[in-house]
Structure 1
Amino acid sequence: MVKGGIEQALREEAARLGFVACGIARADAAPATAARLHQWLADGCHGDMLWMAERAAQRGSPQGLWPEVQSVIMLGMSYAPVSDPLALADHPEAGRISVYAQGSDYHDIVKKALKHLARWLVERTGGELKVFVDTAPVMEKPLAEAAGIGWQGKHSNLVSRTDGSWLFLGAIYTTLELAPDRAGRDRCGSCRACQDACPTQAFPAPYRVDARRCVSYLTIEHKGPIPVEFRAALGNRIYGCDDCLAVCPWNKFAQAGRANRAFAPRAELTVPMLADLMALDDAGFRAVFSGSPIKRIGRDRMVRNAAIAAGNSGNPALLPVTEALLGDPDPAVRDAALWAAARLAPARYRYGEDIEALSAA
């Protein structure tokens, strides 16, 4: 066991680097994770995210990824929004982008801070370690709960008593035996606000999400045409969804002043106009979303999403830009454009009748 108050010094250094939460768990502190993950995968709830299944053995426990790990340091960086994340619900001419994606790419910001903290720790204690932000087979949320940062709420995301639902998580796996913190305790009680807020009923049960129905999955991870049954429910959400997070009562304790300044929303991403997004080509897409996590979905998925939002807008002024996409090279964009055109001009377009001809074009 490492002595000399290194854990407290670690927390102080983490705070200096911009983390608002820091907790420690033993590497074996979340034993139920592997079984829950296996059942979730067996039920097909991961949809197209095949990488979840391909590395399930490594994802199920820290030791599955790195047998030598003894302790897990979990860090949280706030991105608490200044304004209401649901404010654009009544502005169908604009697209709604999830709060986390309106600023700089969190992968870069959090990982840079994690590396600084990792170097600091190695200089003082030795040992080996690895740092992770989102892209590795690491179950951050159950580990964060085990480390006392918060608890997994009924929407399956982490909830913090001090920062609500607005935390980016990072992990440091280390061979050091650090003193663990007390695990987080579920404080959701009888509340089901997040469950009721979901526009696509993506929660088959509390604490369980079916990604195949989740707006975030459909607009970000899912390739190809979005299932027709969910399109109307997407409204004007074009990248992710904040609904289940935004309605959590614990957010009343979250303070925008604790958020990292790098996550402040870029002006062009706070109220993006659908007509502008639908007119983007590849070069335009890269220019607009440079330095944003949105860039990874590519132009075609963004334009597909914007076209569906246009179809939901009820605004005939968006018909010309929608019609311009009927000949788009990407079949999913063409499909979304025809669906939208049929909603905006039902006397001129029939989605069910015209889709086969359009797909063959």
Structure 2
Amino acid sequence: MPPTPAAAGPSPAPLRCRRWWLLGGIAALLALVLVLPQVLVGERSPETEARSFLQAILDADTDTVREHMVEPEEGVLDVALTDQVTLAAEERVDRFTIEDTTIDGDTAQVTATLSLGRRTQETTLHLTRHREGALRRPVWELEPVELPVMRVAVPVSAPAVLINGVEVPLPEDVMATQAFGLVEVHLVVLPGVYQVSAPEGGEAVTPTTVRSTIPPVLGPWLNSLIEIGYELTETGEEQLGTYLIDTALAECARSTQPRPENCPFGASEEVTGEGAWKILTPPQIHVAGGAAGYYDAYGYGGLAEFTVTAEDGSTTVQRVPIEEAAIGMMDREGRFYGTWFGNQETTYY
């Protein structure tokens, strides 16, 4: 009797099939997890995107604002666009209202009213729809928004500007354009009321503070130029007076001309020859104030003497008062300089 063949084992094909079904089910589940939220969330409306941006302005969230702002033009600085500066503003945008939303194909406009205290201003935000992701989900994107610009004239000696008490450093190359006076800088800011001043400059000067209001505007806007600077203390007036006498006046005294240019004294017209000057009594200096980084001063009560020696050895002496206007200024290192206005060939206005 032939032997009975061994019973065949179970076929591996059904097992492999079950494994493929299991892997397929897991893949389908993952796809569902990834896709379903996008399907359920749907498309964010243009108004929702606009509200998000406007809320960032209310919250002084400058990081979010920067994501949607127009790149500043050359020479315009964004160093003042910080949470710290904006939150310290005396007033800032406190509410907004969506007035209208218009959709035309893949473009939209959202009109809103911004409020800053009692001031209101209507603005229009522009959005564009594009599609992203595997499902080409439509997304509304805010077009870059231009922010207002504050124009400030800053003393050349100031390395920074104080806005609402917050120090905002200024790039060195901006301040190195001139030796004296004020340098105009343009700063991107959010709407608000700002207290602007120069930083402390030592015992010779006291910073002046200017209040600047940037209305609730989104778009190209420039304020009228505001000037910040320093008032001279008694120490500063003494330092300027010392320079005008010990340096500027001393230089005049070394002249051999009867009417030296930019000097507070001069001999009468009939005196034509060269001679020697001598300061008999230095003038008193009165500093009257200043503007645009320059300080007006006036010298009075002084006395100078001009001696002309003839070929025969005889001398002619003429005494004249020292009484003339002068101007002072500070350089980038905070040092005082000055010049007198006397005997000028050119008229300055």
Under TM normalisation by the shorter chain, which class is it? under 0.3
Between the two structures, name the one with larger relative contact order (CA 8 Å, sep ≥ 6).
Answer: 1
Task: Determine which structure has the larger helix proportion and give its number.
Answer: 1
Task: Determine which structure has the larger strand proportion and give its number.
Answer: 2
